[in-house]
C-alpha cells in the first residue's frame, strides 16, 4: 500500500483509514506491506504492527514535493524489489504514478478519497498535478475504489469509469472513565465544543470560532484539536483568533488516550468544513455517541444524519443556533448508545475490509 504518511497515530484521514483497514486485511490472510514516509512514521512502532509490515522511505518534508517524490520512490520499490500481487495506491495525488506502476507490470488499485484539487491550500501547479493524478488513477488502474456516492458520480461523469463504493468506517471505542487529559486545557466534561482536524483552510476553523462566540454558551469552551504538517499563515491566524476569543483553546495534535478523552467527554462535535471525502472525524465522533453538527456539503450529507445536524456552509449564525440547541439537550446514556449503534451498523470496518479484499481478488483474477 502506498500514498500515506504512516500509522498508527499519524494525523490525516487517509492515515486513519489505512490504520483501521490494514490490520483487518492482514487478519484475513493478506501479506500487507505499507510504504510510509520516514519523517512521519513513529519510530516506536517498529517494522511490524498488528500483522502489517512497514517499509520506510525518505521523502522531502515539503508540502509541494513530499507526496509525489515518495510515491515515485514507492513505485520503484514495489516494481523493482517487492513485486506485490496488488499495489494499492491511496488518494489521487500519489495516483499520478499509476502509469509508471503499470509499466512495471503491477496490478494497481486506486482509492479515490476526494477531489483534493478543490482544497484551498493548493496553488495552480499542485491542482493540475492532482487533477492529472485523478485522471491517471481512474483511467489506468485495474480497480477503482471510492469512499462516497458523490465521488463515484464524479468518476463516472469525468472519466467514464465505474468504481466500487466502499466507505470509511468506525470501530466502536471503549468509553474512557478517566478525564485527566481535560485538565491540561481547562476543559470540563460535557461542557465544551470540539473540532478534531488538521489546521488547513478547508476545515474553516474561523467559522466555528465566530459561531461559538456568537452562541455565547454559559460555562462552555471550544477545543480545537489538531495541527498542520507545514505550519503557515493560516495556522498562525487560527491560533491568534483562538487567543482572542474567550473560552477557546488550541490543544495541538493529540493522539492515543488524550484524543480518546477529548472525544468522549465533549458536549458537541462540529465539522464546518468546505471539503471532505467521507469525513472520518465525524464518524469517530458518532462512534463516541456525541451530538454532531456539520456543514451541508455533499460529503457530510452522505453520512445520513437528520436535518437538525446540518447547517448551511459558512452561515455562522445558523451554526450558532445549532450549538445553542444541542447545548440545551442533555446527553443521556440512551442517546449516546443509540448514536453508537447507528454508526456501527452503517460504517463497519470489518465489512469494509471484506469488500476491499474482494476488489483485490477480482483484480488478481482479471
d(CA 321, CA 316): 9
CB 54, CB 21: distance < 8 Å:
no
pLDDT value of position 119: 80
- Is residue 333 located within the same domain as residue 355? no
- List pLDDT tens digits, range 194-246: 999 999 999 999 999 999 999 999 999 999 999 988 888 999 999 999 999 99
Which grid coordinates are listed for 264? Answer: 468522549
CA dihedral 100, 106, 109, 112 (to 10 degrees): -10
d(CA 151, CA 154): 5
pLDDT value of position 111: 98
In terms of DSSP H, where are the helices of the chain? Answer: 13-27, 66-77, 98-103, 124-140, 149-159, 180-183, 205-215, 233-244, 256-264, 280-287, 298-301, 316-327, 333-346, 349-365
DSSP 8-state symbol, 231: -
pLDDT value of position 331: 93
Is residue 3 included in any domain, yes or no?
no
Reply yes or no on whether the pLDDT at 121 is more than 90.
no
- Find the domain containing 139 and state its range: 13-169+348-365
Reply yes or no on whether the pLDDT at 122 is more than 90.
no
Percent of the chain whose predicted confidence (pLDDT) is above 90: 92
Closest by alpha carbon to 126, among 196, 68, 192? 68
DSSP 8-state symbol, 274: S
Residue 307 has phi, psi (to 5 degrees) of -60, -30
Reply yes or no on whether the pLDDT at 277 is more than 90.
no
How many domains does the chain fold into?
Answer: 2
Reply yes or no on whether the pLDDT at 360 is more than 80.
yes
CB 98, CB 68: distance < 8 Å:
no
- N residues, the chain: 366
- Is residue 128 located within the same domain as residue 219? no
- Is residue 45 located within the same domain as residue 144? yes
Residues 6+ apart with CB under 8 A from 108: 86, 87, 88, 89, 98, 101, 102, 140, 141, 142, 143
pLDDT value of position 230: 80
d(CA 336, CA 311): 22
d(CA 263, CA 52): 27
- Is residue 119 located within the same domain as residue 231? no
Is residue 175 included in any domain, yes or no?
no
d(CA 122, CA 306): 33
- Is residue 300 located within the same domain as residue 355? no
Distances (CA, A) of 356 to 18, 22, 313, 363: 12, 10, 33, 11
Burial class (CB in 10 A: 0-12, 13-18, 19+), 184: exposed
Reply yes or no on whether the pLDDT at 13 is more than 80.
yes
Does the bond joining 220 to the residue before it have cis omega, within 30 degrees of 0?
A: no
d(CA 288, CA 89): 30
Is residue 2 included in any domain, yes or no?
no
* CATH number assigned to the domain comprising residue 217: 3.40.50.2000
- List pLDDT tens digits, range 136-151: 999 999 999 999 999 9
Is residue 327 included in any domain, yes or no?
yes
- Is residue 46 located within the same domain as residue 75? yes
- Is residue 339 located within the same domain as residue 361? no
- Is residue 308 located within the same domain as residue 201? yes
- List pLDDT tens digits, range 40-63: 999 999 999 999 999 999 999 887
- Is residue 234 located within the same domain as residue 322? yes
CB 143, CB 168: distance < 8 Å:
no
Q: Write down the mean pLDDT value for the chain.
A: 96
Is residue 257 included in any domain, yes or no?
yes
Residues 25-47, mean pLDDT to the nearest whole number: 96
Q: Are strands 164-165 and 143-146 parallel, antiparallel or unpaired?
A: parallel
- Is residue 277 located within the same domain as residue 352? no
- List pLDDT tens digits, range 65-92: 899 999 999 999 999 999 999 999 999 9
CB 78, CB 109: distance < 8 Å:
no
CB 41, CB 5: distance < 8 Å:
yes
Which grid coordinates are listed for 121? Answer: 491550500
Is residue 41 included in any domain, yes or no?
yes
d(CA 254, CA 293): 21
pLDDT value of position 238: 97
- List pLDDT tens digits, range 294-308: 999 999 999 999 999
- Is residue 308 located within the same domain as residue 273? yes
- List pLDDT tens digits, range 98-120: 999 999 999 999 999 999 888 87
pLDDT value of position 171: 87
Is residue 113 included in any domain, yes or no?
yes
Reply yes or no on whether the pLDDT at 162 is more than 80.
yes
Which grid coordinates are listed for 328? Answer: 440545551
- Is residue 337 located within the same domain as residue 353? no
- List pLDDT tens digits, range 185-194: 999 999 999 9
Is residue 8 included in any domain, yes or no?
no
pLDDT value of position 118: 85
Amino acid at each position: 500500500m502506498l500514498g500515506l504518511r504512516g500509522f498508527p497515530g499519524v494525523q490525516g484521514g487517509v492515515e486513519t483509514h489505512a490504520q483501521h483497514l490494514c490490520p483487518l486485511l492482514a487478519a484475513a490472510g493478506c501479506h500487507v506491506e505499507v510504504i510510509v514516509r520516514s519523517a512521519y512514521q513513529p519510530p516506536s512502532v517498529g517494522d511490524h504492527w498488528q500483522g502489517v509490515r512497514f517499509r520506510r522511505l525518505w521523502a522531502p518534508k515539503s508540502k509541494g514535493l513530499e507526496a509525489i517524490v515518495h510515491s515515485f520512490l514507492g513505485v520503484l520499490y514495489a516494481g523493482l524489489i517487492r513485486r506485490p500481487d496488488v499495489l494499492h495506491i491511496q488518494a489521487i495525488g500519489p495516483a499520478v504514478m499509476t502509469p509508471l506502476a503499470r509499466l512495471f507490470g503491477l496490478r494497481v488499485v486506486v482509492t479515490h478519497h476526494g477531489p483534493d484539487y478543490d482544497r484551498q491550500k493548493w496553488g495552480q501547479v499542485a491542482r493540475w498535478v492532482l487533477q492529472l493524478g485523478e485522471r491517471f488513477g481512474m483511467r489506468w488502474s485495474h480497480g477503482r475504489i471510492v469512499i462516497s456516492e458523490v465521488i463515484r458520480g464524479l468518476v463516472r461523469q469525468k472519466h467514464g469509469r465505474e468504481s466500487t463504493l466502499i466507505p470509511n468506517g468506525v470501530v466502536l471505542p471503549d468509553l474512557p472513565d478517566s478525564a485527566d487529559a481535560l485538565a491540561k486545557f481547562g476543559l470540563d466534561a460535557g461542557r465544551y465544543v470540539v473540532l478534531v482536524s488538521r489546521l488547513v483552510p478547508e476545515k474553516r476553523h474561523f467559522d466555528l470560532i465566530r459561531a461559538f462566540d456568537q452562541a455565547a454558551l454559559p460555562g462552555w469552551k471550544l477545543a480545537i484539536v489538531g495541527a498542520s504538517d507545514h505550519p503557515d499563515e493560516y495556522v498562525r491566524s487560527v491560533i491568534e483568533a483562538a487567543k482572542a476569543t474567550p473560552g477557546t483553546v488550541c490543544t495541538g495534535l493529540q493522539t492515543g488516550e488524550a484524543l480518546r478523552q477529548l472525544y468522549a467527554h465533549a458536549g458537541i462535535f462540529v465539522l464546518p468544513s468546505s471539503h471532505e471525502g467521507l469525513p472520518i472525524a465525524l464518524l469517530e465522533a458518532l462512534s463516541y455517541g456525541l451530538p454532531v453538527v456539520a456543514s451541508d456539503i455533499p460529503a457530510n450529507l452522505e453520512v445520513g444524519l437528520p436535518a437538525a445536524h446540518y447547517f448551511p456552509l459558512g452561515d455562522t449564525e445558523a451554526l450558532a443556533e445549532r450549538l445553542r440547541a444541542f447545548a440545551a439537550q442533555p446527553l443521556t446514556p440512551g442517546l449516546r448508545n443509540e448514536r453508537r449503534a447507528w454508526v456501527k451498523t452503517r460504517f463497519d470496518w470489518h465489512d469494509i475490509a471484506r469488500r476491499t479484499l474482494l476488489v483485490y481478488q477480482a483484480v488478481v483474477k482479471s
